[in-house]
Chains A and B, each alone.
Chain A
Amino acid sequence: MNHYDSIVIGAGHNGLVCATYLAQGGQRVLVLEAADTPGGLAAGREFHPGFHASVAHSVNHFSAKVASDLNLAAHGFEAGADGHSIVGLGTDGAHVVAGAGALHNASDKDTAAYDEYSALLGRFAKALEPSWFRTMPRIGSLAVGDLMTFARMGLKLRLLGKKDLQEFMRVASLPARDIMDEYFEDETLKAALSWDGLIGSRMAPRSPNSAVLAMLYRMSGQAASVKELVNSLSGAATASGAEIRTGAPVKRVVINGDENGLGVGGVELASGEQITADRVISGADPQTTFLNLVGVEHFDIGFTNRIRRLRCNGLVAKLHLALDGLPEFEGLDRPGGRMIIAPSMDAIEFAFDDAKYGQCSSDPVMEVTVPSLDDDTLAPAGQHVLSAHVMYVPYELKGGWTDAARDGIRERAIDTIARYAPGIRDRILHSEFLTPADLERDYRVTGGHWHHTEFAMDQLLMMRPTYGAAQYSTPIPGLYLCSAGSHPGGDMVGAAGHNAAQEILR
């Protein structure tokens, strides 16, 4: 029988998390993945013979609850002991390292300030953490569950005490620059610490909006290896009875309608094959889901317009280098952790300014890792993979993306890295640069956006992606969202997949 209780579109990590919960809940579940391997943007890919990389190059805050609920440990998942430290690369080899709750190689003043700063943010992050794993209340709803969620969120914050709560209200929408300037003096340190407030968003240090929330969002959960996480999620999904079909792109969601309204019938694959299901859960981004897979004719005009207006243009590009040896960064024994190349917050701001007007920055800023340090299967023995998230690279380049334009920004990015690792050019066997437009094409993510749609105040919490679809259910009964475009947002966390499953199983 070719009928399922639930079909999940996309075997990205959220799709897999959702599918596993549903299968654990007794459902017959099918996960359909367009690519040949599961993982979505976290899927490993051989970008040069013998060299592997995934677009998502580090897992920094995966949910401990999801890992335990799905028993990922039994499938090879291992939580990183102390996460990936952030290394602010300074010129002249003067680097500052933030990791495991302490600062290294910083001034006494900054070191002391960091204790205070991380303790305060840590308390905020802890108070907010439960709300990442809860369905947001409906605006205007007086249902008991919705009111309870509001009450719990309020109580958690209130329990911080009056002083902390006042401070939280003050800093919650502050530009990253303001909070950094308040606490620290070193420019490299400020830039490195603000990184997690900005990456993936259309924001720079001077943008007031969700930078502080993004930092707090990224302060819970566990670090892990990308490959182990994807493998363990696939393993857990399969073990729970969910079926994963790769190489099976979905062409459309089949919608049935009668006088009682619309309902979901299943999906039609690009091959023409139809599979029926009681519900379809989309791990695709909201625009792809509503506009392409379902079709505007099935939605109200105002709702469609809100989906159309979602801001989905990504600003993060991906650089992969195949290296014939370990890159040598001045002043570092070992290029571990997440190395931030951004000498100052101004450097980030100026890079953003260029992108705002559709141009690539002459001085891109980036987060660099060498994933092959922790996983020697990613490159041939003795050789290495360098992976970098490069900001800010516009989805829509003025004049359009050409090979020459892509080569230009790739070379600039490599030149920038070479300032810190002077010998790196001689080690490059192959390089690959993926613009947001490339990511959109290769990974079926609108705008190639890190979070599927902008992680900003107007598109967060009960507004994510927009009201009417912010509780994982959608205007069409049986159609659900389960991915980064839903609360709480992107990154490898598993929260959206978890929350969607809870809504469905409720």
Chain B
Amino acid sequence: MSSQDRFAGERPRPSPFYPRQKELNIRDAWASWNGYKFADYYYDAEYEYFCVRNLCATYDITPMQKYEVKGADAEAMLNRMVTRDVRKIGLNRVAYCLWCTDEGRMIDDGTIFKLADDKFMLTCGSPCTAWLKMSSFGFDDVSITDVTDDLAALALQGPTSCATLKKMGLEGIENIKPFEIRMFPFHGDTLMVSRTGFTGDLGYELWIQPGLALQMWDELYAAGEDYGIQPYGEAATNMTRLEAAFIMPAMEFNEALKTVNLNHDQTPFELNLGWLVDFKKPHFSGRSALLEEKKRGPKYTLTKLDIEGNRPAEGAWIYSDKRCKKHIGYVTSAMWSPAVKANIALAMIETEHLDGDLWAEIYYEKELRHYGRVAKCTKQDKPFWTPARARQTPPDDY
């Protein structure tokens, strides 16, 4: 074998936090996200989950796609692309947004950070460069740069997150409101902190240039030692986000541009995200199709379910009757929620059947034996996990 690595371009790249993560990833449980080497879990997914819910924990979001959208026309360009009114995002505020094809099918969701009147950051789960380029055609003064590799990012989530950052020296961190952004001086550079996250709990996201990533990690972990700071990976993220009823690509929705079969993608109304579609703003892509769908009503509606028993309804079909004669939907994500102490799930259910009985046909395995049961489902209106501290400013000290 030659000294050159023939597969160099194929191997997942390390994140700027990798030197520390490597030490902590006791199980060597690595996955990849957008080409980055990225932890599925470090020690045990459930343990990490409890850290997020009871203490605080960090999740590496460096691999998330990050685009800088700059220029006098940046706002107009983004406003024509996403369904929310970008003009209403305040300076140093973050807004959860989604964007659709002309047919009103959801391409992806993400967040828009308004950093100046002519400067935004857009984040999303997977690369969107082609669509952004297409969306910017015809706008004279807008430049779009993929800054994914230029910005290390770490989510710090959980009840002791605020106290940890305070101890780290981020003065006034307790006054940052949900979806607010604040800049802190950090070793001659700037540490950007947004009060955002994917856990439905009190939490922050920290954005730093890669050269200072380890410095930030070390200071954060030093400050967080007494607050139980731990890293968590993809598996625990998926548990916390489901309790918060946040949607995941390839689970609740299939990105429209990657969907082959007709209507196997979703619309915002089907995903219960109609509140993100603003028909009063200027024209945006997919508007006519979405208006039509709003009038007609979505075929499916993403529904939060509390299911009897304790068997997670993973992949279960939903029926309108206990005898499973009438199939009306399918579960997209399911788990036993330790925090809520309930058997929870998100399910796509035909809208016309939403008001009737809902039954999940659950199959599970116990020591190689397979069992099935039909469990009654109860619709939930609110996210399963909604602690008051997620919205309090300043949050209580933990």
Contacts and interface: CB of A to CB of B under 8 A. Distances in A.
Contact of B101 (A262, A297, A302, A468): A302
B139 interface: yes
A468 B101 CA distance: 14
Interface stretch (B38-46, B145-153, B284-292, B362-370): B284-292
- By size class, the interface of chain A is 10 to 19
Given A257-B283, A261-B287, A262-B283, A297 B138 contact: yes
A297 B81 CA distance: 9
Given A301-B81, A302-B101, 16 more contacts: A257-B283, A259-B279, A261-B287, A261-B291, A262-B283, A291-B138, A295-B138, A297-B282, A300-B102, A300-B285, A301-B131, A302-B134, A304-B138, A305-B137, A468-B102, A475-B288
A296 B285 contact: no
A256 to B, nearest CB: 11
Given A295-B138, A308-B137, A300 B280 contact: no
Interface in A285-315: 291, 295-305, 308
B159 to A, nearest CB: 42
Nearest to B283: A298
Given A304-B138, A305-B137, A299 B283 contact: yes
Contacts of B279: 259
A301 B134 contact: yes
Contact of A302 (B280, B282, B283, B285): B285
Contacts of A305: 134, 137
B310 interface: no
B288 A296 contact: no
B215 interface: no
Contacts of A296: 80, 137-139
B135 interface: yes
Contacts of B216: none
A52 to B, nearest CB: 39
A475 B122 CA distance: 28
B286 A300 contact: yes
A302 B101 CA distance: 7
Nearest to A296: B138
Nearest to B280: A259
A300 B134 contact: no
B76 interface: yes
B288 A261 contact: yes
28 contacts: A257-B282, A257-B283, A259-B280, A261-B288, A261-B291, A262-B283, A291-B138, A295-B138, A296-B80, A296-B139, A297-B138, A297-B282, A297-B283, A300-B102, A300-B285, A300-B287, A300-B288, A301-B102, A301-B134, A301-B135, A301-B285, A302-B134, A302-B285, A304-B137, A305-B137, A308-B137, A308-B138, A475-B288
B7 to A, nearest CB: 36
B280 A297 contact: no
Contacts of B80: 296-297, 301
A259 B284 CA distance: 12
Interface of B: 76, 80-81, 101-102, 131, 134-135, 137-139, 279-280, 282-283, 285-288, 291
A475 B288 CA distance: 9
Contacts of B282: 257, 297
Contacts of B135: 301
Contacts of A257: 282-283
B131 to A, nearest CB: 7
Contacts of A304: 134, 137-138
Contacts of B283: 257, 262, 297-299
A262 B283 CA distance: 7
Contact of A303 (B81, B102, B131, B280): B102
Nearest to B284: A300
A98 B265 CA distance: 57
Interface in A230-273: 257, 259, 261-262
Interface string A465-478: 00010000001000
A457 B325 CA distance: 49
A115 to B, nearest CB: 50
A296 B101 CA distance: 15
A305 B285 CA distance: 12
Nearest to B138: A296
A477 to B, nearest CB: 10
Contacts of B139: 296-297
Contacts of A299: 283
Contacts of B101: 301-302
Nearest to A291: B138
A468 B279 CA distance: 21
B267 to A, nearest CB: 14
A215 to B, nearest CB: 35
B102 A302 contact: yes
Contacts of A301: 80-81, 101-102, 131, 134-135, 285
Given A262-B283, A302-B102, A297 B134 contact: no
Interface string A188-211: 000000000000000000000000
A468 B131 CA distance: 20
Nearest to B79: A297
A301 B137 CA distance: 9
Contacts of A297: 76, 80, 138-139, 282-283
With a 10 A CB-CB cut-off, give which of A259, A262, A297, A304 has the most chain B CB atoms: A297
B281 to A, nearest CB: 9
B97 to A, nearest CB: 15
Top 7 nearest A-B pairs (CB, nearest first) are A296-B138, A300-B102, A302-B102, A301-B285, A300-B285, A259-B280, A259-B279
A300 B289 CA distance: 10
B228 to A, nearest CB: 46
Contacts of B137: 296, 304-305, 308
A303 B139 CA distance: 15
Nearest to A292: B138
A257 B283 CA distance: 8
Nearest to B131: A301
Contacts of B287: 261, 300
A313 B285 CA distance: 28
Contacts of B76: 297
Contacts of A300: 102, 285-288
A257 B281 CA distance: 9
Contacts of B138: 291, 295-297, 304, 308
Nearest to B73: A297
Contacts of B131: 301
Contacts of A262: 283
A305 B282 CA distance: 19
Contacts of A261: 287-288, 291
